[in-house]
Structure 1
Amino acid sequence: MFNEQPPVWYAVYTRPKCEKKVADLFTRKKVEHYVPAKPLVRARKIIQEPLFPSYVFVHIPESRSWVVKETDNVVNFVYWLGQPAVIPDHEIALIRHFLRDYEDVSVEKFPIKAQEEEDRPASSARILQISRNRVKVELNSLGCMLVATVPSREMTVITGHKTVNGHHY
């Protein structure tokens, strides 16, 4: 028997405004995927806007990368240091958590240097700020941070740690 590689999360870059089309094609191809989206009110309608424009996350073993590459409207994998960037499971879980628990979530980019990336443990996720009404968490593998605005009534301080929506930071 041969050893099947475990699936890992990759970011896939799509043509502009094609995230839903690509997600539908991945569903047909039975490729596990995730398109983080936030609600947006447009013309008295609530639509789902991608949190990461032109990105779809796929959960596949490396051996199935050809299935992703041959999908219409997929430009390529997102690369870091010459390899497809692997997104750690905990960062995908953090994105899901933020979108589930907070209403106002946005993404802010920050520069990443190759040396910083090599020095930091792969499993690290850093809380960058907890202020009166904002929580910022670094997504190291994507070179950005998630920012959530939280009503102050939902934040409490417990022995030096802050709790937001029941989660300790």
Structure 2
Amino acid sequence: MNLKLNSAELKWYPVYTHARAEKKAYEALVKKGVTAYLPLQKSLKQWSDRKKWVEEPLIKSYLFVKIAEANMAEVLMTKGVARFLYFGGRITPMPDKQIEDLKLLMASSVELEVTDENLQPGEKIKIKAGPLKGITGEMISYRSQKQLLIRLEDIGCSIVVNMAASFVSRF
């Protein structure tokens, strides 16, 4: 794959994968030389005979690729990749800041839970303290004083964040 492009031509795109194929699709894309990001979280799974910590995708059936438009076909021809996500009827790149915010969330010690509830728009917020300081989003609801529901608009999902409500201010 020809990745010798001007970095300004490279943009982040969300990719939808086949069910439970996120890790394999990610590995295949990296093997092709594609810059890809798959946010993983550790969770404790229990079977009848044992417990085990496993890494699972934060957002089921999604990963992100940083490519030029000319490389979209190559990404689609990767095993495990189903399609690009469409916003407003067309494939639209995501702002780099959204991926950086997601990486910051993943690097923090804050517990995360992704939800696909049908949510209504609310106030724009900015996290003003703690390990997520500087991240912006949309406040959806307070689950409690320590659990907030925040929407990352361009990813199309919402994340339940466990943190003190006092860490959030209007943006």
Q: TM-score, normalised by structure 2?
A: 0.73
Query: What corresponds to 1:125 in structure 2?
Result: 137
Query: What corresponds to 1:40 in structure 2?
Result: 43
Residue-by-residue CA offset, 1:40-96 (whole Å, 9 max, x unaligned): 112422111111111111011111112101111211111122211322212212212
Query: What corresponds to 1:142 in structure 2?
Result: 155
Amino acid at match of 1:39: K
SS at match of 2:145: coil
Taking only the aligned residue pairs, the percentage that are identical comes to 25
- 2-side partners of 1:85 and 1:40: how far apart? 32
1:12-91 equivalences under 5 Å are 12-42=15-45, 43-91=50-98
Contact residue 119 and residue 140 of structure 2 kept, 8 A: no
Unaligned runs of 5+ in 2: 125-135
Residue-by-residue CA offset, 1:8-58 (whole Å, 9 max, x unaligned): 111111111111101111111110011111111124221111111111110
**2:103 pairs with 1:96:** yes
SS at match of 1:90: helix
- 1-side partners of 2:155 and 2:31: how far apart? 27
Amino acid at match of 1:6: E
- 2-side partners of 1:77 and 1:47: how far apart? 27
- 1-side partners of 2:119 and 2:33: how far apart? 33
Amino acid at match of 1:76: R
CA RMSD of the aligned region, Å?
Answer: 2.7
Query: What corresponds to 2:132 in structure 1?
Result: none
SS at match of 1:97: helix
Amino acid at match of 1:126: E
Cα deviation, residue 129, structure 1: 4.7
Contact residue 85 and residue 141 of structure 1 kept, 8 A: no
| Distance of aligned partners of 1:65 and 1:128 in 2 relative to their CA distance in 1, 3 Å threshold | same
| Distance of aligned partners of 1:85 and 1:112 in 2 relative to their CA distance in 1, 3 Å threshold | farther
Runs of 4+ in 1 over 3 A off after TM superposition: 110-113, 127-131
| Distance of aligned partners of 1:90 and 1:110 in 2 relative to their CA distance in 1, 3 Å threshold | farther
